[in-house]
Amino acid sequence: MSRSRIVVFGATGSIGRSTLDVIARHPERFEAFALTAHAQVGRLFELCEQFRPRYAVMSREADADELRARLTQAGCPTEVLQGAQALVELAEHSEVDTVMAAIVGAAGLLPTLAAAQAGKRVLLANKEALVLSGQLFMNAVAQNGARLLPIDSEHNAVFQSLPHTFGRELGASGVRRIMLTASGGPFRTAPLDSLDAVTPEQACAHPNWVMGRKISVDSATMMNKGLEVIEAHWLFGAPAELIDVVIHPQSVIHSMVEYVDGSVIAQLGNPDMRTPIAHALAYPERIDAGVRSLDLFEIAKLTFEPADLVRFPCLSLAYQALRAGGAAAAVLNAANEEAVTAFLDGRLGFMQIADVIAATLERAGDSPVESVEAILETDGRARAIASSEILSRQP
């Protein structure tokens, strides 16, 4: 059996590192063909020494030069490339069959879309690419024979709970609704009047998952779950009213699908991203992911709560954007990225994140999503509006 050649976009992040852990467990099946990083030169250097990919990519020229010099000195043959165009070229590379799309935020749109247009097997961890481009992305998958496999634990759980013959028509498969579970983050039970004083360190302290700072803040505001609702709409052809969010603090049930006969099928497992990654890498086969077996006796009980939209206004804003259609989801994502960055930099309060997003959605208006250029124009305009909203809230 020939090895699958894999490009790992965002190799130094939590998803990228988990992907490489699974790859390392199965060297006879998988090959890390190319690894990319934004600015973590030292970490990417270590990964290149370990996996010896054919290519490595850094965002900035100075970082690429530093990595190239360090690899040359170490005798590692990896060729170093630089910039966004290099990502696109690797996504389209004729020797690549699988792309792990794990670049955080809107920056992942172009290379992930290029992988779909090139007919690759796309392992989608970058939910923002689908949130921004929606129908454009799904059309690229369908028209070019790409295979789209979700990596988010919730969407992967839904995928595993649907029939193998599922064709993005819920009714035809007897599906009544999709239930996305959410841990509720670190502030699920915190007094509402305490949330204005939340610090970046508190927001990044997720109770169950180890994640990057941006996605940790998104989990704390539940914007992460809102983006997942939009992603589920496109992945599974589900309207907003058939996608529910259920707070499940233990993070053992990763999501559920309810059928018209009353059956509810769920996927369970320990909160470890190597499970969905291994599932997608080997699909339709199953392989060892290095994940500890689930001990139901240790867990003892599973609890569920409705999502509190007063506590988590970002979730409500995501549903609003999904129902509005057009470019609203792209505006939502851009405003959120700007607001989260400002919060992490100490320029914006935690509860002001939702305020900035709501104001940006109101000011941005509507526009069609007809091309990548239109999406990028909308993204830039929304960021400018959000930046002005952030500035107006500073003392």
CB atoms within 10 A of CB 119: 16
Distance CA 38, CA 256 (A): 35
DSSP-assigned beta bridge partners for residue 55: 34, 79
Q: What is the pLDDT along the chain (395 residues), one digit of tens a residue?
A: 689 999 999 999 999 999 999 999 999 999 999 999 999 999 999 999 999 999 999 999 999 999 999 999 999 999 999 999 999 999 999 999 999 999 987 889 999 999 999 999 999 998 888 999 999 999 999 999 999 999 999 999 999 999 989 988 999 999 999 999 999 999 999 999 999 999 999 999 877 766 788 889 999 999 999 999 999 999 999 999 999 999 999 999 999 999 999 999 999 999 999 999 999 999 999 999 999 999 999 999 999 999 999 999 999 999 999 999 999 999 999 999 999 999 999 999 999 999 999 999 999 988 777 899 999 999 999 999 999 999 999 87
Distance CA 293, CA 380 (A): 45
Going along the chain from its start, the domains and CATH numbers come out as 4-150 (3.40.50.720), 153-271+291-310 (no CATH), 325-395 (1.10.1740.10)
**Helix 372-392, helix 328-344: angle, nearest 10:** 40
